[in-house]
Amino acid sequence: MTRSPFLVDVSDLLGRDVPARPVVLDVVVDWALEMSKILPEPSLVADLSIAPIPGGILVRGEVCYAVEHTCRRCLTDFIDDGCSQVAGLFEVDPGEDAYSIDGTTIDLEPFLRDETLLGLPLLPICEESCEGVVTTAGIDLNTDSSDESDDTGSPFAVLRDLLPPED
């Protein structure tokens, strides 16, 4: 059975007053949200520091990755680079705010997945100037020139007659 690259032995840190030690992970992951997915190439790189604290282990550092988003306005895919600062607590008897220590090992995967995905935008936009698509099929406001004054298909078109005429 292959050992997970996310498992880290912390027996040298538990219950001791020793300095933090670095841990660097370079792994391919398959993590995604509805409109974003961490890409396998380049791989996710986590540059972490693992330190003993009373009652557990403190993990902090930076995670860098490439992510493919789907723009919420125009629905095109675009790729972005991301880096997130992360910090988490591991305890033998974890509460709501901590991850568990299993014997002398910590599993960094749930921690890194949570921190990385929570750092992604829920509704990504390819660029601030993206105008998106309109309700008329096949028209992309970013590439097509359209005349939006023709709103005969709009249920609100009849309300235009209630307004005073424009000069």
Structure tokens, 164? 């005073």
150 pLDDT above the threshold of 90: no
Average pLDDT over residues 114-130: 92
**How far, in Å, CA of 105 to CA of 100, rounded?**
9
137 in a domain, yes or no?
Answer: no
pLDDT bin (cut points 50, 70, 90) of residue 108 is: very high
112 in a domain, yes or no?
Answer: yes
How many of the other CB atoms lie within 10 Å of CB of 133? 19
b/e string for 31-68 if b means 16 or more Cβ within 10 A? beeebbbbbeeeebebebebebeeebbebebebebbbe
89 in a domain, yes or no?
Answer: yes
148 in a domain, yes or no?
Answer: no
14 in a domain, yes or no?
Answer: yes
127 in a domain, yes or no?
Answer: no
Structure tokens, 92? 């033998």
Q: Which domain holds residue 49?
A: 7-118
Give how many domains the chain has, as a whole number: 1
161 in a domain, yes or no?
Answer: no
pLDDT score of 165: 73
Average pLDDT over residues 138-143: 59
Write the pLDDT tens digit of every residue in 40-51. 999 999 999 999
Average pLDDT over residues 108-128: 93
158 in a domain, yes or no?
Answer: no
Average model confidence (pLDDT) for the chain?
A: 86
**Single pTM value for the model:** 0.76
pLDDT score of 100: 93
